């Protein structure tokens, strides 16, 4: 049997067949190369000129590696865009001997200026400029393992709509070395006065496991009006050096909406400038709303500073926060959600007595109205609440007459029998609100709670509009 090869009959000229196959091959290569980074180079640099060139030429997927321990002097702009799958990385070759980016002087410029998306900035020291790391309209960028220090104004600034960014595992200290007013550790958004210049919606940025301070002259974190959804978590605040300039008197000042402050630790370090751990302000109508403070631990040296304070129009929710020593907890529009069985204890007006009054009787402090009050003149005047059967008391809320214009000094005492008293708190009201202010105490078994007044910053009167005793 004879076998013959099959002959394929192609109805077009051979040149057309070659053209057809070439087009197919081209399309196949396009699919392959557009499904992965076209350019993914690793560039090693030991000079500033090499770094500047690498930044100018950066493409998605590139990694720029800086020689360990080497100082690179200049102002470095990260303008290229990476992608979600292929970010651009700028890092030191060593996490323990970090390359140093030196901006050349604290009076002007940014050491690192990021305007592109999807960057990873890792294991670098950033120093010696007016601003350390500035992000303008930059999104999805990670700053990891950075140290930012010796900066004229703010250390790290998310500005002009920069959103969905994160800074983690970093250390920011010695900022505001030229202008203390603007020496924030991390600054999110823009003041309302700058909204005509910068996009205000700087949203959903995260600050996690960052040590801030010492010698950060303004707030450690300042979250501006117009921003939404900032998360500050697992950070450590060293209050040494907060200056009070431009009203900087807390670790964090929240003016945005729906911000989350959780699981942070703050140390006041006997800095009397710090009057609250965390503050919420409404700078613009509709902002400064719905901040959440949970699981934070703050060491505030005395009983006087509050853990969370809001102004008249700001709002916040708080739970699981602790302070040492015991003392003031919350002031202003703070809703406390303890997650425990603690609740407001019922105290009828007939169970409230006082050392004296001027006709404004003690029962007024449990009538649910801030328009009535108990008043007595003189140091040591007291008001006593009988809880009936002994209860476990964990906090007392007090609103003070004219409490927004004067601060009242007082003690809180508890007793099982009305004769032998234990002082559980000595301090003063904030002098900034007419609302209930919370004093947190270590759990105490007590039948009686007594507030002993020592006058106020204007005169010797003791005047309380409302008292709530919480426990179980």
Q: Choose the CATH number for 42-336 among 2.60.40.150, 2.160.20.10, 1.10.3470.10, 1.10.540.10.
A: 2.160.20.10
Examine domains 42-336 and 344-471 and report if their fold is the same.
Answer: no
β-bridge mates for residue 427, sequence order: 410
Residue 408 pLDDT: 96
Distance CA 410, CA 382 (A): 9
Distance CA 33, CA 28 (A): 9
Residues 156, 218: contact at Cβ < 8 Å?
no
Neighbouring CB atoms inside 10 A of 385's CB total 23
Domain 344-471 carries which CATH code? Answer: 2.60.120.260
DSSP string across 256-309: SBS-EEES-EEE-TT-TT--EEEEE--SSTT-S--EEEES-EEE-SSS-SEEEE
Residue 23 pLDDT: 66
- From residue 131, alpha-carbon distances to 187, 261, 380 in Å are 11, 25, 52
Residue 435 pLDDT: 84
Residue 151 pLDDT: 98
- From residue 146, alpha-carbon distances to 16, 80, 132 in Å are 60, 20, 11
Nearest to 218 by CA among 241, 236, 202, 235: 241
Residues 233, 207: contact at Cβ < 8 Å?
yes
Neighbouring CB atoms inside 10 A of 105's CB total 12
Residue 62 pLDDT: 98
β-bridge mates for residue 400, sequence order: 464
CA atoms within 13 A on the CB side of 73: 3
Kindly tell me the burial class for residue 286, based on how many C-beta atoms sit within 10 Å of its own C-beta (0-12, 13-18, 19 or more).
Answer: exposed
Residue 10 pLDDT: 47
Residues 469, 416: contact at Cβ < 8 Å?
no
Residue 17 pLDDT: 53
Q: Which residues contact 299 (CB under 8 A, 6 or more apart)?
A: 265, 266, 267, 268, 323, 324
Q: Domain coordinates of the chain in residue numbers?
A: 42-336, 344-471
Residue 442 pLDDT: 82
Instruction: Tell me which DSSP letter residue 7 carries.
Output: P
Interior angle at CA 273, CA 269 and CA 277, nearest 5: 70
Residue 39 pLDDT: 59
Distance CA 426, CA 428 (A): 7
Residue 24 pLDDT: 62
DSSP string across 356-387: --SSS-GGGGGSS-TT--EEEESTT-EEEEEE
Phi, psi of 412 (to 5 degrees): -115, 130
Please report where in the chains the tokens 């003149």 appear, as a residue: 377
β-bridge mates for residue 383, sequence order: 354, 451
Nearest to 85 by CA among 120, 137, 129: 120
Residues in the chain predicted with pLDDT less than 70, given as ranges, are 1-39, 338-342
Distance CA 88, CA 55 (A): 10
Q: Return the H-helix or E-strand segment holding 26.
A: helix 14-34
């Amino acid at each position: 049997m004879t076998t013959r090869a099959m002959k394929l009959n192609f109805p077009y000229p051979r040149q057309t067949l070659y053209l057809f196959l070439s087009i197919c091959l081209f399309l196949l290569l396009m699919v392959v190369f557009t499904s992965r980074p076209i350019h993914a180079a690793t560039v090693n640099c030991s000079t500033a000129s090499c770094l500047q060139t690498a930044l100018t030429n950066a493409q998605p997927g590139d990694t720029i590696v800086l020689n360990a321990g080497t100082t690179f002097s200049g102002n470095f702009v990260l303008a290229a865009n990476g992608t979600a799958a292929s970010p651009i990385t700028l890092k030191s070759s060593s996490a323990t001997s970090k390359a140093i980016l030196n901006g050349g002087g604290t009076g002007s410029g940014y050491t690192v200026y990021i305007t592109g998306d999807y960057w990873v900035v890792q294991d670098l020291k950033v120093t010696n400029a007016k601003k350390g790391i500035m992000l303008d309209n930059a999104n999805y960028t990670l700053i990891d393992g950075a140290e930012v220090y010796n900066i004229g104004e703010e250390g790290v600034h998310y500005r002009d709509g920069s959103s969905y960014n994160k800074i983690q595992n970093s250390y920011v200290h010695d900022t505001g070395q030229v202008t203390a007013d603007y020496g924030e550790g991390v600054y999110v958004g823009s003041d309302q006065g700058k909204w005509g210049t910068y996009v205000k919606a700087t949203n959903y940025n995260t600050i996690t496991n960052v040590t801030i301070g010492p010698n950060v002259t303004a707030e450690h974190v300042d979250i501006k009006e117009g921003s939404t959804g900032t998360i500050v978590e697992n950070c450590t605040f060293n209050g040494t050096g907060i200056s009070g300039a431009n009203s900087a008197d807390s670790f964090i000042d929240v003016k945005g909406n729906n911000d989350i402050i959780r699981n942070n630790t703050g140390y006041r370090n006997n800095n009397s400038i710090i009057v609250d751990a965390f503050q919420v302000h409404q700078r613009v109508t509709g902002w400064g709303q719905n901040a959440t403070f949970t699981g934070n631990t703050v060491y505030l040296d005395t009983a006087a500073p509050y853990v969370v304070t809001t102004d008249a129009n700001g709002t916040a929710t708080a739970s699981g926060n602790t302070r040492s020593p015991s003392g003031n907890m919350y002031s202003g529009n703070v809703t406390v959600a303890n997650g425990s069985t603690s609740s407001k204890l019922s105290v009828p007006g007939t169970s409230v007595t006082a050392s004296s009054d001027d006709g404004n009787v003690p029962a007024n402090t449990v009538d649910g109205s801030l328009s009535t009050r108990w008043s007595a003149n003189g140091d040591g005047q007291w008001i006593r609440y009988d809880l009936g059967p002994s209860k476990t008391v964990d906090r007392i809320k007090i609103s003070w007459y004219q409490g927004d214009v004067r601060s009242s000094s007082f003690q809180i005492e508890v007793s099982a029998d009305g004769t032998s008293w234990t002082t559980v708190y000595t301090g003063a009201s904030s002098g900034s609100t007419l609302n209930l202010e919370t004093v947190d105490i270590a759990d105490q078994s007590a039948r009686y709670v007594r507030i002993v007044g020592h006058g106020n910053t204007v005169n010797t009167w003791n005047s309380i509009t409302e008292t709530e005793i919480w426990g179980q």
